[in-house]
Chain A
Amino acid sequence: MDDSHTLVLDMQKRFLSDWNQRISANNENPDNDFAPMWGAAAELGLTMAIAPDKHGGLGDDGDFHFSYFHQRGALLACANFGAALAGAWAILSATNQNDSADTLGSGAMRPALPTFPEEIGTFPKKRTLTGQETETGIRLWGQFDIVRAAPLATHIFAPVRMEDNGDSCIVLLDTDDAAISIVPFTLVDKATAGKITITDLMLKPTHILARGPLAEAIWVAAQTAMIAATAAEATGVMQSLLDQTVAYVRQRQQFGASIGSFQSVQHRLAEMLVEIELTHSLALAASRDLSDTLLASAAKARANDALQKMADCAVQFHGGIGTTEELALSRYFRRAMALRGELGTTEQHFRLIENAICSEVQPASPVTRSAA
């Protein structure tokens, strides 16, 4: 990273801190002001900053990619201010959609991108929209149950399976389209999400971003960028949880001493420090090599588990007050819950790693393992 990266990160830090203050002062949901917030971030160049270099951003630098999302986790101004941006850039860049890329960079596009925990690491087999070739473009229908930020988005990047030939496609949808209906609800981190239903949408050919194996590869690459971003964000959430807890145990007194002076408290927090350092390293490595899907999986699997351990520990050492919604801690705990479940659970990422190991260690011809 050089000065330009540091400058952006300093700016983002100030930006997120300001929003945080505003949110906590009015006890309001950041999503109430999502569009202005997104616009203000774009004005500071924050939506552009994470773009690949060829689109004028700094996002090719892995350390920057990591720090950018780590910061968003640590400062947690807005949960919907997350990984979808990384996914959108990956798709627009790989498909050379320069106009749309400009729109994204300028802040006029707020992207949503459905992800399916149980179909991680591949182009989805089941949960796509269905498309049908027509003379003027393609006719689309289908639904996505849970899409983060969908009601706040201007555009949706969606996977499509063509009905006649089974081809995979990635399409870009405009949420203003009358054929799209979005029912909003709230996620555990209090962020807005929606169920998207699409009935007979007529899509112009220009909105089909990629087709066939290329579409599949781009979708996986976009997911990998999002998984790495989420692992970085999780590391930031963990770091903040640790910092909040260390500050609390320093100050809270019981038995005539600060609870941070008790060895059992110290040891468990020290273990958390180790967890965070290891997760940090993996997540950073994943950000540095976004082509390595297994590395991203390893980072996310580890981040999931470490995040839950840290969140549990933070609540535990805050005692009663930790179980309430009085402190910022509760927002971080909820965010941790959401991050753990998104873009692949531990089990799902382990399965990808298991598959990779199997293909390395198993003989070419299939042998049935005996029950013993």
Chain B
Amino acid sequence: MTDLALETFRNEVRAFLDQALTTDLRQEADRQTGTFAEPALAQRWHRILYRQGWAAPSWPTEFGGPGWTAQQKLVFERECALANAPLLPAMGISMCGPVLIGHGTAEQKARFLPSILSGEDRWCQGYSEPGAGSDLASIKTRAIRDGDEYVIDGTKIWTTFAHASNWMFLLARTDTEARPQAGITFLLVPMDTPGISVSPILSMSGEHEVNQVFLDNVRIPVANRVGEENQGWTVAKYLLEFERGGVAATGRTLRVVGLLRRMAQENGGLPPSLLRRYAALDVDIRATEYTQQRMLAAIDSGQSVGNANASILKLKASQLYQTASQLFLDAVGEWGLVDQAAALYEGGQVVGPDYCVTAAARFMNSKAMSIFGGTSEVQKTILARGALGL
């Protein structure tokens, strides 16, 4: 794609965002402090993108993707971030979708993709368990074949938005004899199946995003299996590459930078010490964006970026977001010392100027980013082994 065509595209995206992001959507998006936009807001924005045909930038056109190049996808996500559009949950469009496109049967694609695209179905990810986090292959949740059904027993934890989802994709153990990685199966589970219960876990800053999910004698049809029995690890890893490298690595960071810039404009600038930190962050953001472009240029659209590259992007994405969140907190100054839970979650008054309301909660939540989707230590191990051969 020529530079000119890409600029035309950028303008088209901007014009759309200008008009589609209404004032109240923007205001609500400004108040978000979590990993993703909260479900009700995400849903509203998802519908708007869907009507525009832009809900699933990475999907092939035959399933409703817009047919963009890798560069266009980055431009789109960058512009969304700069406009502070709500950040959509990844579990449907960016995780389950690509997995079904890559590994699902024709029936599964026909059954599930349209409602993921439209946002009608909301998905959560049932990978982690109390005893299996970094060591994901040690999951204990069992799925036992019983005729045309699997019977699932176990517990999942840290399940983002389980309380607001009607479907969950999960990993379950179907063979206890084999090597840990060899006995895992990838299953699709309706959340209203009898035997499922969801209990909330509050984050340090007080949001309800993650949950513990208990599965007790949960029966699902064998047709809800993606890939072969005991081949779930391959599917799971394919998905993780998308989770780590599939979206713009700077999306969250640019949203915080946007808040910082608006605050500085309102306040007559930033002091020199903070400016210097902002400049350093800016350099790092550009380096990451160019790195992602370089990686994406090398592959066809719709594919993942590969294990090692995904880890580079995930590592940088977490560092940038945490650095930006800390910078924003520090820039807000003493107002960053105030707990704004009452304003954020109970409709109370902001203590201090409006721009400070998310700073502390966002800072706390930013710490989760080097943990979810595989911790930074895990990403470094992947790089050391996979890219350096150590």
Contact = CB atoms under 8 A, between A and B. Distances in A.
Contact of B370 (A116, A186, A316, A325): A316
Contacts of B273: 347, 350-351
Given A187-B338, A320-B371, A326-B201, 17 more contacts: A146-B337, A146-B338, A190-B339, A195-B351, A254-B133, A255-B135, A256-B135, A315-B371, A316-B371, A316-B375, A319-B371, A323-B203, A324-B201, A324-B203, A325-B202, A334-B204, A337-B364
B104 interface: no
B367 interface: yes
Given A188-B339, A254-B133, A254-B134, A316 B333 contact: no
Interface stretch (A278-286, A292-300, A338-346): A338-346
A264 interface: yes
Nearest to A315: B367
B229 interface: no
A10 interface: no
A116 B334 CA distance: 8
A81 interface: no
A60 interface: no
A186 B338 contact: yes
Contacts of A146: 334-335, 337-338
A324 B204 contact: yes
Interface string A161-200: 0000000000000000000000001111010010100000
B204 A341 contact: no
Contact of A323 (B132, B204, B341, B377): B204
Contacts of B147: none
A323 B134 contact: no
A38 B132 CA distance: 45
A333 interface: yes
7 closest pairs, A vs B, by CB?
Answer: A254-B135, A186-B339, A347-B273, A323-B368, A330-B204, A320-B158, A185-B351
A312 to B, nearest CB: 7
Most buried by A among B322, B326, B339: B339
13 contacts: A145-B334, A186-B339, A187-B339, A188-B337, A188-B360, A315-B367, A316-B370, A316-B375, A325-B206, A333-B204, A337-B337, A341-B336, A345-B330
Given A330-B204, A334-B204, A341 B375 contact: no
Contact of B380 (A145, A186, A264, A322): A264
A345 B363 CA distance: 16
Contacts of B368: 320, 323
A273 interface: no
A35 interface: no
Interface string B333-355: 11111110110000000011000
Interface in A125-158: 145-146
B336 to A, nearest CB: 6
Question: Which of B128, B204, B330, B364 is packed against the most chain A CB atoms within 10 Å?
Answer: B204
A33 B339 CA distance: 20
Interface string B346-390: 000001100000001001110110111001110010000000000
B223 interface: no
B271 A347 contact: yes
Nearest to B375: A319
A193 B352 CA distance: 13
Interface string B121-157: 0000000100111110010000000000000000001
Contact of A325 (B158, B203, B376): B203
A248 to B, nearest CB: 13
Contacts, number: 111
Interface in A240-291: 253-256, 259, 262, 264-265
A342 B206 CA distance: 23
**Taking each of A316, A320, A322, A325, which has the highest tally of chain B beta carbons within 10 Å of its own beta carbon?**
A320
B367 A312 contact: yes
With most chain B CB atoms within 10 A of its CB, the pick from A320, A323, A342, A347 is A323
A350 B330 CA distance: 15
A100 B99 CA distance: 72
B134 A319 contact: yes
A117 B365 CA distance: 25
A342 B158 CA distance: 33
A321 to B, nearest CB: 9
B367 A320 contact: no
Contacts of A102: none
Nearest to B326: A308
Contacts of A190: 339
Nearest to A354: B273
Contacts of A319: 133-134, 371, 375
A125 to B, nearest CB: 16
Contacts of B370: 316
B43 to A, nearest CB: 24
A31 interface: no
Contact of A320 (B210, B333, B377): B210
B303 to A, nearest CB: 29
Given A255-B135, A323-B371, A347-B271, A342 B204 contact: no
A342 B377 contact: no
B274 interface: yes
A118 interface: yes
A76 to B, nearest CB: 15
Contacts of B322: 312
Contacts of A259: 134
A262 B134 CA distance: 13
A186 B201 contact: no
Nearest to B365: A323
Contacts of A350: 273
A195 B135 CA distance: 49
B198 to A, nearest CB: 16
Interface in A317-372: 319-320, 322-326, 330, 333-334, 337-338, 341-342, 345, 347, 350-351
Contacts of A188: 336-339, 360
A362 to B, nearest CB: 18
A325 B204 contact: yes
Residue of B131, B338, B372 with most partner-chain A CB within 10 A: B338
B377 A265 contact: yes
A323 B367 contact: yes
Nearest to B376: A316
A351 B273 CA distance: 10
Contacts of A308: 326
B127 to A, nearest CB: 11
B158 to A, nearest CB: 5
A194 to B, nearest CB: 10
Nearest to A117: B334
